[in-house]
Structure 1
Amino acid sequence: MKLRLVSGDETNDLALLQAPSPFKDVAKIRQNPIPVGNGVVAIGYPYHGLLTSDFTVTTGIVSSLSGILNDTRFLQISAAVQPGNSGGPLFDLGGSVVGVVAAKLDAVTVARATGTIPENINFAIKTGALRDFLDNSAVQYQTAEWRDSLKRETPEIAKDARGYTLLIVCKVNEQSAGAKKP
């Protein structure tokens, strides 16, 4: 299906895309902040076509409530992510979205600077930035509050995510890209 770009947030690397028809299933965004040490599930399409055409599921924990240089827009997570996970949902163990996968620490750059290879240092945009973006775009969304009784198994979370997690492939039409040609 073709999606239409409605709005974007370059600072937080978020985009709002409109589908031709509404989705039957929707994700819920966690209302209360996730604490350090809580488990998370990352879903995405890393190296799509090279490894698998299906989405992948990885688990980890929230390692820190801030990113590089204490950037509080981010969660630091230990769930493994690769190129292709960006933009994918990060869930708590109840299946609510706690972030949007954004990046992984550049291992080569860190190794050159420190002499050591970093492991499992990845980042997701927190739901505060996501909710602000959706609010500013006048998009309605559902929220959920965490309770220990909501804890679910990873396969259940992944099964539900199939209803609202899509592979997005960006293609630019030369006509829509503008008339700037050398």
Structure 2
Amino acid sequence: MTHNFEPFVFKVITASGSGSSFYLRDKKIFVTNYHVVGQFKNVSLQDPTGSRHLAQVILANPYEDIAFLKVEQDFEVPSLNLQMNPVARGEQVYVAGFPFGMPFTVTEGIVSAPSQLMNGKNYVQTDAAVNPGNSGGPVFNQHGDVIGITTSKFTSADNMGFAVPIASLVEEFDSLPHLVNNTFNLVCESCSALIQERSAYCNNCGQNIDEKLFDEPSLTDLAIFCEQALVELGVNPVLARQGHEFWEFYHGSSLVRMFVYNQSYLYVTSPINQLPMQNMQALLEEITSKDVEPYKLGIWEKEVYVSYRIHITDIYGPRHNEVKQNIAGLYRKANELDDYLAEKFGCKFSVHSLKNRQ
């Protein structure tokens, strides 16, 4: 394989999980599976540099399992070619994406069946490894052309991967000139008309429409609380989402993670420094004795963390404003302590710190 597929493939992140997508520069859209974005109308796209961008779902076709996303900027990547001719059995293919939310990965295989009937629709079947998180990403042929959109929704199919044929994607391109800017467009399953406003049926053909498709997914009370705290920090919660009740963002130079542990505790934590080569005993004494209340210092996998833990029940009681203030205070404490430990003990900044990039 001589092609570099990474520049074209972006991770899609929602409050439900993550998937993959690919950028068509000539159309200025990102393509993914509908089941990756679900009912979310705004999602986060992470580019190959790790930067995140707010993307709007401008077209959703649940029946074809295709969605188009738009970001209010262009990306300097080459144009992708789409393989319009039918693929052949035995053809070499490459599945590119983010399996299980991991870093960018490419798996290799062959086309097992060019047109496999599954649940009443035809898919390209391949023996390349496909896992949750690959969904929405591209399947390339040996020439670097896109032959399909990976889908991992058939979890019962062992050692088999499937892709939505590129022909289904091309059919959706006919809708692009008719899309209303900055508007969610639902494709009618029956006649392919675009529906912008909530309705129980298609005005064009009368097909029944599930009105829930126009609603945003409901967040848990805990997620709403945490995202309100992020908004008060000036952080866009959509860009911070990392999955179910899990957020990750930079504030100042420090990476901050917020997540639920064991369905009982809310953790907010930041990796601040790497362990030093020397002065280890002195550092350990400092970590165990230094008063940083309401926060705690600790060590995990050769890095020093400052963390805040609170029982979930406390966010619903009279302390909820105090909890929000402590969440906001953690990033300030992280930016203070990393300099302190670097100067006193010679600790390098965390591998996640933006100070390493200055």
TM above 0.5, yes or no, is: yes
Q: Counterpart in 1 of 2:127? A: 78
Does 2:104 correspond to 1:55? yes
In 1, Cα distance between equivalents of 2:118 and 2:64? 15
Does 2:149 correspond to 1:100? yes
Q: TM-score, normalised by structure 1?
A: 0.64
Going from structure 1 to structure 2, the CA distance change for 1:104 and 1:18 (only over 3 Å counts) comes to: closer
**Cα RMSD between the aligned structures?**
2.7
* Structure 2 residue matching 1:94: 3-state secondary structure: coil
Instruction: Identify the structure with the greater strand proportion.
Output: 2
In 2, Cα distance between equivalents of 1:98 and 1:134? 16
* Structure 1 residue matching 2:167: 3-state secondary structure: helix
Going from structure 1 to structure 2, the CA distance change for 1:36 and 1:178 (only over 3 Å counts) comes to: closer
In 2, Cα distance between equivalents of 1:91 and 1:138? 27
CA offset digits 1:143-180 (Å, max 9, x no partner): xxxxxxxxxxxxxxxxxxxxxxxxxxxxxxxxx8389x
Q: Report the CA distance between 1:104 and its aligned residue.
A: 5.7
CA offset digits 1:80-105 (Å, max 9, x no partner): 01000000000000000000001264
Q: Report the CA distance between 1:138 and its aligned residue.
A: 3.4
Does 2:159 correspond to 1:120? yes
Asked if the contact 1:104/1:121 (under 8 Å) is kept, the reply is: no
Aligned length: 131
Q: Counterpart in 1 of 2:177? A: 138
CA offset digits 1:6-35 (Å, max 9, x no partner): 111101211110011122223211122211
Instruction: Identify the structure with the greater helix proportion.
Output: 2
* Structure 1 residue matching 2:124: 3-state secondary structure: strand
Does 2:71 correspond to 1:19? yes
Among 43, 68, 73, the residue aligned to 2:96: 43
In 2, Cα distance between equivalents of 1:96 and 1:64? 18
Structure 1 unaligned runs (5+)?
108-117, 140-175
Q: Report the CA distance between 1:106 and its aligned residue.
A: 2.9
Aligned residue identity for 2:114: L
Identity level (%): 32
Going from structure 1 to structure 2, the CA distance change for 1:62 and 1:45 (only over 3 Å counts) comes to: same
Q: Counterpart in 2 of 1:29? A: 82
Q: Counterpart in 1 of 2:204? A: none
Among 43, 46, 56, the residue aligned to 1:4: 56
